[in-house]
Structure 1
Amino acid sequence: MSTLVERHQHILEVLKEKGTVLVGDLCQDLNVSSVTIRKDLQFLEDKNKLFRTHGGATLTNPYIGDRPVIEKVAIQSAEKEKIGQYAAGLIEYNDSILIASGTTVFYLAKNIQPKGNVTVLTSALNVAIEIAHHPGIEVIQLGGIMRKTSSSVTGLYAEKILEDFSCSKLFLGVDGIDLEFGLTTTSMQEAQLNKKMIMAARKTIVLADSSKFGKRGLGKICTLEDIEQIITDSNISQHTVEQLEARGVEVTVLPL
């Protein structure tokens, strides 16, 4: 059996390599019980070396709070720009698409070059304003209660409108992607609207920079099985990519 110091060193090395660890994997690696591993994780968390999660641990705090969109738009901006450019290239001739709220999907809106007459349904006011000048884009702005921090609408009215539409793609921004818990946002109301958007689209494409992985917001949107594709940047760990692909998710990793 490995010593206490050896176990702690191994746990931190795996975390440095993969970003996250699971109790079950550590039990197999170190040939010890789950009780022992959980005590090790508790000790390391008390020393501010990691953050414990359900079934494992991560290097960064997995729980995120709400912040205004004007603050978030400047975070990981280079990564978001590349993701937005790539996603814009997926819009087809005479397409009908849904764009949710968030700063990464705003970069998509900035890069749209419509082919034919494209119809865009969106809950985000900043997205609608950004693309309104394009003569080739018809914008359908969902109505409802405006959530000031995200400059987007939520509520039953917006959800009801979606029942009358069927779009080819949903471009979805999220606040967190947890391999076990799924996709989340910091608002329960926004999470509920995102669920309705997924139902109104034939394909859900998630735009998320690598900092979103291993994070959780308050409101759960869906599980990984409910989406088809994630577009992210090359700072994502290979372990996370493999785990996502094993769940049937297409992962597009863009170089920085």
Structure 2
Amino acid sequence: MLQEKRLETILEQLKENRTARIADLSKKLGVTRETIRKDLYDLEKQGLIKKVHGGAILAKTNLEPTYANRSGSNVREKEAIARRAAQLVEDGEAIYIDLGTTTQLFAKYLDQKKGITVITNALLVALELANHPSCKVILSGGELRSGDLSLSGPVSRKSVEDFFVDKAFIGVGGLALSSGFTDYHVGESEIRRLMMKKAKETYALIDYSKFDVTAFTKVAGIDEIDVVITDAQAPQSIVHQLEENGVEVIVVEIEEA
């Protein structure tokens, strides 16, 4: 396949998913990983993408992939992160669960917890917990965003501002040393920051593809999160910087398929 066609295909995949792995592109396009690395280098020189550990992302900070595309990417990593996060929840706790594909999986793994209370602004998280035999779910009001089915805005903020929780479990769009923890939607990030202040501890659930990425709006500095739960593909340079800033980093193992 000619390079021009490869570059078009790479950009199409990035527009759909925002992220792409070198290994997946190599297999899809039938070329070596070194060829894909050179293609990504050329696209980065044009300002169209940004190379990250093991792959690439789109360069635009305000372009968020759809929930459907996000839910189908890095599933094994997200499942492992979600399972590990669920182990950190104790019976009887009050927790906040953020919107996101990983946090939705996290909610699924809470089925054995007893007497917990969950505050969320994510309809999909609430639905995941709807049949939980021992869980009280408090769903914020607010303006509904299609696709993600999340709630934000003044009504959402007002409905949760008087609650305090033991732990907040959040998802973000990006994590970079220069910009901290970032995301795409301003209103949702406002709710996220509010509940972080109301929590005794904050846990960020972030797979490797979010590292070295800066999204549209800041959520927190790198020293404002207590624990980051991620997978082994996360760049060690950023992991070490997090730890040097007092952040505990839990690296999960991915189960073999």
TM-score (structure 1 length as normaliser): 0.76
Match of 2:251 among 246, 250, 253: 253
Equivalence for 2:194: 196
Letter in 2 for 1:130: E
What whole-Å deviation, never above 9, does each CA across 1:187-221 have from its counterpart, x for those lacking one? Answer: 11111111111111111100010000011111211
- Do residues 108 (structure 1) and 93 (structure 2) align? no
Equivalence for 1:228: 226
Secondary structure of the residue aligned to 1:224 is coil
Secondary structure of the residue aligned to 2:95 is strand
Correspondence list, 1:5-154, <5 A: 47-48=42-43, 59=52, 60-61=56-57, 63-64=60-61, 65-154=63-152
Alpha carbons 2:64, 2:184 under 8 Å: kept? yes
Secondary structure of the residue aligned to 1:225 is coil
Structure 1 segments of 4+ aligned residues over 6 angstroms from their partners:
none
Distance 1:82 1:255 in 2: 7
Q: In the TM superposition, what is the alpha-carbon distance from 1:250 to its structure 2 partner? A: 0.5
Match of 1:169 among 167, 170, 174: 167
Distance 1:51 1:247 in 2: 34
What whole-Å deviation, never above 9, does each CA across 1:30-82 have from its counterpart, x for those lacking one? Answer: xxxxxxxxxxxxxxx99445698xxxx85434544222212211110010000
Matched residue count: 208
Q: In the TM superposition, what is the alpha-carbon distance from 1:105 to its structure 2 partner? A: 0.3
Letter in 2 for 1:73: S
Distance 1:109 1:47 in 2: 41
Q: Greater shift after overlay, 191-200 or 93-102?
A: 191-200
For structure 2, the 5+ residue unaligned runs are 1-39
Secondary structure of the residue aligned to 2:182 is strand
Distance 1:63 1:169 in 2: 32
Letter in 2 for 1:233: D
Equivalence for 2:239: 241
Alpha carbons 2:222, 2:245 under 8 Å: kept? yes
Alpha carbons 2:141, 2:156 under 8 Å: kept? yes
Calculate the aligned-residue CA RMSD, in Å.
Answer: 1.9
The share of aligned pairs that are identical, in percent, is: 34
For structure 1, the 5+ residue unaligned runs are 1-44
Secondary structure of the residue aligned to 1:174 is coil
What whole-Å deviation, never above 9, does each CA across 1:12-44 have from its counterpart, x for those lacking one? Answer: xxxxxxxxxxxxxxxxxxxxxxxxxxxxxxxxx
TM-score (structure 2 length as normaliser): 0.76
1:248/1:145 CA distance change after superposition, 3 Å: same
1:46/1:73 CA distance change after superposition, 3 Å: closer
